[in-house]
């Protein structure tokens, strides 16, 4: 991706979409995207899976120029080059905060400088408080001081986070901000662009800083999980061949153990690999489940009213059996499971079919229901309209007879 491509609608929309879901992994948009990926998982071919996800983007309106291909290209570009992390400027500095035993402390800065090149090459340097400078290298979304070691002294993951996490301003809740998070010489670290760091950031204690780093890493994990999933559909790669943050988390834990900082909630990072899979999915699945429960409750109530007013019938017995089976199936669905959205979607179709089958039983016997029963069924107006139509037909019939006489 070259500088000339930065101003295209596809680039701009893809970049904004990626930033948003990275910074807001539990948002409705991120959940809908994950659901679209779940739907793509059920397709029989990579082409059909791609079409499913492309359709999701077209239907968003705001991101209609985005495609699966442009999303994957954006992910690769952000993981291998630095222009976006420098704010597309010639120079950018991140203020680094360390989370140590004595609280949060300044720890110098990371400086990105444009060095030229057709693709906008940047140099990256860590400036310590003692004046020393350490060159940094960027690969797989991480700034590190050494490429050939398993556990670099400096390892900072690039990511986007909600600005409101740092300012406390509700208006900033969904505004993406570029951040660096990880470890510097064995200590938890978080770095913000200097202009953001100086613009009313809330002061945080050590525990709050640790929680913020955990939240940022959850956002990283959600995006990487999405990339991990869509690559497997499109290219049918083995999942083990697709990079995730598991190595980063392993390095982090090892680094913490070696530096004696293990007391700073390492379990948060150990559990992230599982937590990120549910953070964006479970919220949407729980909402869908609640809607299905309400539909089943309404069906059950309607079936009781019909049985009271009309007695039993083969059609009603079929609907009752379907409602009971659907209730049992819903209870078995774990909303944290990866395929829960698919299960809920299929069950929702079954519940809608039962509602459809109940409709003619009610419509064909409107006058058999009392006023209170019609109110409970939500058909009071429908029944009244039918009575009015019958009265009108009777009046017209009388007029016809009188005229004929």
Q: Work out the percent of the chain whose per-residue pLDDT is above 70.
A: 67
pLDDT band at 269 (very low <50, low <70, confident <90, very high): very low
- Say whether both 300 and 220 belong to one domain: no
The tokens describing 293, both together, are 């429960």
Give dist(CA 205, CA 197) in Å, integer.
15
The tokens describing 165, both together, are 């996490």
Question: Quick one: which of 40, 279, 264 has its CA closest to 255?
Answer: 264
Q: What is the DSSP letter of 172?
A: G
40 assigned to some structural domain: no
- Say whether both 99 and 130 belong to one domain: yes
| 44 or 112: which leads in pLDDT | 112
pLDDT at residue 405 greater than cutoff 70: no
3 state DSSP class of 250:
helix
- Given a contact cutoff of 8 angstroms between Cβ atoms, the answer to whether 29 and 21 are in contact is yes
- Say whether both 143 and 185 belong to one domain: yes
- Given a contact cutoff of 8 angstroms between Cβ atoms, the answer to whether 219 and 125 are in contact is no
Most confident by average pLDDT, 20-34, 184-198, 292-306: 292-306
Kindly state the helix (H) or strand (E) to which residue 109 belongs, with its residue range. strand 103-116
Domains: count for the chain = 2
CA distances from 354 to 121, 296, 299, 319, 350 (A): 60, 10, 8, 6, 6
- Say whether both 118 and 164 belong to one domain: yes
8 assigned to some structural domain: no
pLDDT for the residue 40: 78
- Given a contact cutoff of 8 angstroms between Cβ atoms, the answer to whether 146 and 156 are in contact is no
- Say whether both 97 and 191 belong to one domain: yes
pLDDT for the residue 272: 41
Give dist(CA 42, CA 302) in Å, integer.
34
Q: Which of 133-137, 224-228, 277-281 has the lowest mean pLDDT?
A: 277-281
Q: Which of 95-109, 150-164, 264-278, 377-391 has the lowest mean pLDDT?
A: 264-278
- Given a contact cutoff of 8 angstroms between Cβ atoms, the answer to whether 328 and 344 are in contact is no
Q: What is the pTM of this model?
A: 0.56
pLDDT for the residue 64: 94
| 298 or 229: which leads in pLDDT | 298
Q: What is the pLDDT of residues 278-331, one digit of tens each?
A: 444 565 677 688 889 889 988 999 999 999 988 989 999 999 999 999 999 999
Q: Which domain holds residue 115?
A: 84-278
Q: What is the pLDDT of residues 47-74, one digit of tens each?
A: 888 888 899 999 998 999 999 889 988 9
pLDDT at residue 400 greater than cutoff 50: yes
3 state DSSP class of 403:
helix
12 assigned to some structural domain: no
Q: For Cα atoms 125, 130, 136, give the angle at the middle one, nearest 5 degrees.
A: 15
Q: What is the pLDDT of residues 331-357, one digit of tens each?
A: 998 877 778 888 998 999 999 999 999
- Say whether both 110 and 122 belong to one domain: yes
| 393 or 261: which leads in pLDDT | 393
- Say whether both 188 and 302 belong to one domain: no
Q: Which residues, at least 6 apart from 148, have a Cβ–Cβ distance to it below 8 Å?
A: none
């Amino acid at each position: 991706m070259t500088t000339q491509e930065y101003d295209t609608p596809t680039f701009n929309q893809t970049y904004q979409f990626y930033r948003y879901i990275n910074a807001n992994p539990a948002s409705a948009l991120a959940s809908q995207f994950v659901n679209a990926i779940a739907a793509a998982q059920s397709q029989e071919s990579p082409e059909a899976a791609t079409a499913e996800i492309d359709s999701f983007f077209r239907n968003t309106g705001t991101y209609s120029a985005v495609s699966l291909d442009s999303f994957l290209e954006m992910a690769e570009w952000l993981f291998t080059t630095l222009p976006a992390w420098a704010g597309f400027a010639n120079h950018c500095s991140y203020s680094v905060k360390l989370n140590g035993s004595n609280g949060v402390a300044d720890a110098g800065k990371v400086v990105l400088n444009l060095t030229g090149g057709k693709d906008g090459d940047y140099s990256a340097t860590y400036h310590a408080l003692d004046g020393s400078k350490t060159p940094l290298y960027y690969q797989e979304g991480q700034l590190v001081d050494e490429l050939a070691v398993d556990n670099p002294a400096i390892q900072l993951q690039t990511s986007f986070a909600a600005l409101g996490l740092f300012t406390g301003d509700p208006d900033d809740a969904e505004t993406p901000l570029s951040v660096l998070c990880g470890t510097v010489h064995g200590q938890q670290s978080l770095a913000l662009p200097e202009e953001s760091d100086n613009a009313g950031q809330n002061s945080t204690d050590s525990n709050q800083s640790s929680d913020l780093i955990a939240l940022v890493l959850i956002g990283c994990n959600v995006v990487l999980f999405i990339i991990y999933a869509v690559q497997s559909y499109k290219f049918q790669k083995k999942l083990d061949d697709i990079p995730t943050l598991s190595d980063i988390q392993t390095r982090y834990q090892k680094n913490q153990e070696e530096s004696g900082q293990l007391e700073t909630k390492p379990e948060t990072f150990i559990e992230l690999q599982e937590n990120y899979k549910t953070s964006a999915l479970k919220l949407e699945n729980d909402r869908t489940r609640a809607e299905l429960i309400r539909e089943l409750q309404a069906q059950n109530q309607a079936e009781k009213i019909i049985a009271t007013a009309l007695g039993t019938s083969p059609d009603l017995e079929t609907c009752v059996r379907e409602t009971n089976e659907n209730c049992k199936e819903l209870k078995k669905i774990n909303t944290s499971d990866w395929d829960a959205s698919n299960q809920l979607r299929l069950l929702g179709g079954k519940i809608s079919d039962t509602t459809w089958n109940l409709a003619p039983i009610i419509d064909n016997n409107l006058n058999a229901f009392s006023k209170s029963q019609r109110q409970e069924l939500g058909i009071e107006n429908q029944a009244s309209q039918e009575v009015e139509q019958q009265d009108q037909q009777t009046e017209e019939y009388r007029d016809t007879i009188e005229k004929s006489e």
